[in-house]
Amino acid sequence: MTLFTRQELEQATRLVHASMPATPQHVWPVLSQAVGAQVLVKHENHAPTGAFKVRGGLTFIDWLRRAHPEKRGISTATRGNHGQSQTRAALAAGLTARIYVPHGNSVEKNAAMRAFGADLVEFGDDFDTAREEAVRYAEAEGLAVVPPFHRELVRGVATYGFELFQAAPDLDTVYVPIGCGSGICGTIAARDALGLKTRIVGVVSARADCALRSVQAGRLIATDSADTFADGMAVRVPVLEAFEIYRTGADRILSVTDDEVAEAMRLIFRATHNVAEGAAAASVAALMQERAAMQGRKVGVILSGGNVDTDVFATVLGGKTPQVGPAQG
């Protein structure tokens, strides 16, 4: 059974495109040569907030205004891209946005959220702790909780997959990073709504691999930490609703190291001169693991965002891998 009908995704796409244009998908010859396959890059780093999450904010806030018109604002937790998305959409709709981030979060993502109008609060040592506080505050203040995974979030996020698969229905495989799971679930939903057979591969950080462990065990498995500089994947506790979709909808899930992510960031910059944050580069890192099997095929990678702090990117371009301590998650 498909998560959304084609008509539901067409409606979501119209709503999203009323606020932003479709993002491009390009084949970059130097990247394709490095892999030995025709590689189509979906450039979600070109979205208005620099990441794919902006789409889910538009559909979620539109739904919230219709379903709960009594709510005056939202409260949510983020490592940065989700918070920018929700703040941008909420403020445009006349709502307030209380955003929780863990201590040690990206300085530049924090600045971007504040610039969009967020009431930003640092709390806890990792995303999951910040998420608990966001829920507590929302309940105390009568605000709407924006969960990391919700049907309307996924319907919005699925529009990038819908764009990609309409432009390239003949893709053999698509690599998608996994944090809380909206991206991979949206990609699965778009593929299924269009009736395609494309294999979808999820990618997790070796230092935040709860999704992979959960699929292997057949039940939810949390990790003790999520200490990766690829903050978009730095999640300790898997989301059940997402797990139920990607455990069957994804062909497989791969794990990539921080060193592999850093090398993929350098490759993307050399080949395309686009900036990829760690989670976005994970898709290319996974493809490089499987390049022998992908020879001669047409594959897609989701460049999910470009929001990486300047000092972190400078470290990566200098040939090193950024180090992350436990307090930063």
Q: What is the pLDDT of residues 253-300, one digit of tens each?
A: 999 999 999 999 999 999 999 999 999 999 999 999 999 999 999 999
Spatial separation of the C-alpha atoms in residues 144 and 76, rounded to whole Å: 9
Q: For 76-98, what is the mean pLDDT?
A: 96
Number of domains in the chain: 2
Spatial separation of the C-alpha atoms in residues 329 and 234, rounded to whole Å: 6
Q: Say whether both 222 and 156 belong to one domain.
A: yes
| Structure confidence by residue, pLDDT tens digits, 303-323 | 999 999 999 999 999 999 999
Among 97, 115, 145, the domain-final residue is 145
Residue 39 in any domain: the answer is yes
User: 328 or 81, which is more confident?
Assistant: 81
Looking at residue 53, its amino acid is: K
Distance of CA 160 to the CA centre of its chain: 11
Q: Say whether both 104 and 234 belong to one domain.
A: no
Residue 136 in any domain: the answer is yes
pLDDT of residue 51: 97
Q: Say whether both 108 and 128 belong to one domain.
A: yes
| Structure confidence by residue, pLDDT tens digits, 90-146 | 999 999 999 999 999 999 999 999 999 999 999 999 888 999 999 999 999 999 999
Which domain CATH number covers 70?
Answer: 3.40.50.1100
Q: Is the pLDDT of residue 251 over 50?
A: yes
Q: Say whether both 125 and 155 belong to one domain.
A: no
Q: Say whether both 102 and 183 belong to one domain.
A: no
* Structural domain harbouring 163: 6-51+151-328
> For residue 179, which of 199, 197, 142, 153 has the smallest C-alpha distance?
153
The pair of three-digit structure tokens given for residue 199, joined into one six-digit string: 């294999």
Q: Is the pLDDT of residue 72 over 50?
A: yes
Q: Are 153 and 59 in contact (CB under 8 A)?
A: yes
Q: Say whether both 121 and 170 belong to one domain.
A: no
pLDDT band at 164 (very low <50, low <70, confident <90, very high): very high
The CA–CA distances, whole Å, from 118 to 60, 95, 198 equal 17, 10, 38
Among 89, 111, 145, the domain-final residue is 145
Identify the residue whose tokens are 């703040």.
87
| Structure confidence by residue, pLDDT tens digits, 199-241 | 999 999 999 999 999 999 999 999 998 999 999 999 999 999 9
CA angle 164, 167, 170 (to 5 degrees): 90
